[in-house]
C-alpha cells in the first residue's frame, strides 16, 4: 500500500506493462475442442481413443449428403472422385457410399473381375443392377426414389488446425471439381468441431465485451458517475487480458470448457473493485484527502486478500484427470491473485492519481 501511495504513476505503469505482456500472448492462443485431448496420455479414455485410431478406423467422421439422381453415372462418378480425394488425406481411414455399392454389384455381375469394379456407363445399367440384386441400400441412399445419398468418411484424431484445413479443402474441392448437377451438404463430427471453434471465439469475445459494458453501466448508475463505472471494470479487464495472455504464453488451449473462465473471473473479480470504490466514496466524506487512499487500503486490503485466498479452493480442480478442468483450477488461482492485486494496485493507483477529481465530483 505504501508503494502505491508514494509512487502511483510507477505502479500504474507497471500494471500497463503486465497487461501489454498479456496482449502479446493473445496471438499464441490455440483453440482445441478435440475430446481426445481433454484426457492425459495413459488415461483409460485416451488409450481407448488411441486404440481406435491405431488399430481401427478412427474416432472422427465426416458425413456428406448428396442430393441428385443417384442412378446417374455422372453423379456417381463425382461421388467416387470426392471419395478418392478425401482418402488421399493421411488421417482418413476409409470412405463408403452408394458408389461403392454400385461398383461392387457391377464387379459381381461381371464374374467378379476386378477390372469391372467401376461405375457403369449408363443409368439403365445401374437401374438393372439395383433391380437385379434387390438388397437393402437404405444406409447409403434413399432407396425409394434414389434422389439423395450419404457418404460416410471415417478419420483418425486431428488437431483443430488440421480439421480447419481438411474442411476447407473438402469444401473447395466440392465447389470447384464436381461437374454434375448435385447439391452437397457436409456435416459430421469434424464439421461440428470446426463450427464449435468458431462459436467459442465469437461467443467468448461477445460475452466478455457485453459483461464489461453491463458492469460498467451498472456501476455508473449505482455510483452516479460514469468515471466510477470505467474504474470498476479496469481491474477486471486487466485480469481477463492477463489470464488469456498466459494461456497463450504457456500453451493452455481454449475450448468450450476453459472459455467459461472469463465469466468466472468477471463474476468473482467485480466484487473486489466494487468493495474498494464503495469504501473510497464513503471515506472521502470523512477523511483528509492526503490520508484517503491509505485509509481505504487499510480498510479493504485485508478483506480483499482474505476473499481471494478463500477462492483459492478452485485450486483443487488441478487434481482432476480432465485436463480442461485442471487448467481452470490453475488459471482460477491466478485469476484471484490478478483481480485482487489489480484492485489494490492498478485501481488504487488510478484513484490516487484522480483523487482530486473524484472527490470534487
Residues (pLDDT < 50) of the chain are none
Share of residues in the chain with pLDDT > 90 (%): 20
Which residues 6+ apart lie within 8 Å of 137 measured at CB? 98, 101, 130, 143
**190 Cβ partners below 8 Å, 6+ apart?**
60, 61, 62, 155, 158, 163, 166, 167
- φ, ψ for residue 150, nearest 5 deg: -130, 130
Integer Cα distance of 173 and 179 in angstroms: 11
pLDDT for the residue numbered 281? 87
Helix (H) or strand (E) holding 62: strand 60-67
229/233 Cα distance (integer angstroms):
7
Q: What's the pLDDT tens digit per position in 261-272? A: 777 777 777 888
Architecture of domain 2-30+195-360: Up-down Bundle (1.20)
What string of DSSP letters covers 73-127?
Answer: HHHHHHHHHHHHHHHTSTTEEEEE-HHHHHHHHHHHHTTT-GGG-S--SSHHHHH
Could you give the CA distance from residue 90 to residue 278 in angstroms, rounded to a whole number? 60
Cα–Cα distance between 338 and 242 in angstroms, integer?
Answer: 8
Measured between alpha carbons, how far is 168 from 328 in angstroms, rounded to an integer?
Answer: 31
Answer yes or no: are the C-beta atoms of 317 and 258 closer than 8 Å. Answer: no
CB-CB neighbours of 280 under 10 Å: 27
DSSP 344: I
CA within 13 Å, CB half, 35: 11
Question: Residue 191 in contact with residue 62, Cβ under 8 Å?
Answer: yes
pLDDT score of 1? 58
Query: How many degrees, rounded to 5, is the angle at CA 88 between CA 83 and CA 94?
Result: 55
What is the per-residue pLDDT for 360? 66
> Where do the CATH 1.20.1640.10 domains begin and end in the chain?
2-30+195-360
Amino acid at each position: 500500500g505504501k508503494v502505491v501511495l508514494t509512487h502511483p504513476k510507477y505502479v500504474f505503469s507497471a500494471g500497463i506493462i503486465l497487461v501489454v505482456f498479456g496482449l502479446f500472448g493473445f496471438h499464441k492462443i490455440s483453440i482445441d475442442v478435440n475430446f481426445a485431448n481433454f484426457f492425459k496420455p495413459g488415461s483409460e479414455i485416451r488409450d481407448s481413443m488411441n486404440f481406435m485410431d491405431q488399430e481401427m478406423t478412427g474416432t472422427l467422421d465426416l458425413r456428406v449428403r448428396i442430393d441428385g439422381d443417384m442412378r446417374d453415372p455422372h453423379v456417381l462418378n463425382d461421388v467416387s472422385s470426392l471419395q478418392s480425394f478425401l482418402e488421399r488425406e493421411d488421417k482418413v481411414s476409409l470412405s463408403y457410399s452408394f458408389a461403392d455399392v454400385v461398383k461392387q454389384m457391377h464387379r459381381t455381375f461381371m464374374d467378379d473381375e476386378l477390372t469391372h469394379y467401376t461405375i457403369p456407363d449408363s443409368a439403365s445399367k445401374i437401374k438393372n443392377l439395383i433391380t437385379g440384386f434387390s438388397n437393402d441400400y437404405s444406409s447409403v441412399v434413399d432407396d425409394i426414389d434414389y434422389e439423395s445419398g450419404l457418404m460416410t468418411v471415417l478419420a483418425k484424431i486431428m488437431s483443430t488446425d488440421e480439421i480447419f484445413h481438411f474442411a476447407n479443402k473438402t469444401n473447395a474441392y466440392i465447389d470447384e471439381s464436381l461437374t454434375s448437377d448435385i447439391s452437397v451438404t457436409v456435416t459430421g463430427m469434424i464439421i461440428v468441431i470446426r463450427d464449435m471453434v468458431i462459436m467459442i471465439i465469437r461467443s467468448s469475445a461477445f460475452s466478455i465485451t457485453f459483461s464489461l459494458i453491463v458492469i460498467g453501466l451498472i456501476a455508473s448508475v449505482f455510483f452516479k458517475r460514469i468515471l466510477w463505472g470505467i474504474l470498476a471494470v479496469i481491474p477486471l479487464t486487466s485480469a481477463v487480458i492477463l489470464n488469456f495472455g498466459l494461456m497463450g504464453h504457456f500453451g493452455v488451449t481454449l475450448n468450450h470448457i476453459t472459455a467459461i473462465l472469463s465469466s468466472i473471473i468477471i463474476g468473482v473479480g467485480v466484487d473486489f473493485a466494487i468493495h474498494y470504490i464503495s469504501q473510497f466514496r464513503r471515506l472521502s466524506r470523512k477523511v483528509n484527502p492526503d490520508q484517503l487512499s491509505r485509509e481505504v487500503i487499510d480498510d479493504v486490503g485485508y478483506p480483499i486478500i482474505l476473499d481471494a485466498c478463500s477462492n483459492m479452493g478452485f485450486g483443487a480442480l488441478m487434481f482432476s484427470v480432465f485436463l480442461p478442468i485442471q487448467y481452470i483450477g490453475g488459471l482460477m488461482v491466478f485469476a484471484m491473485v490478478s483481480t485482487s492485486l489489480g484492485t489494490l494496485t492498478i485501481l488504487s493507483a488510478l484513484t490516487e492519481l484522480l483523487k482530486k477529481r473524484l472527490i470534487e465530483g
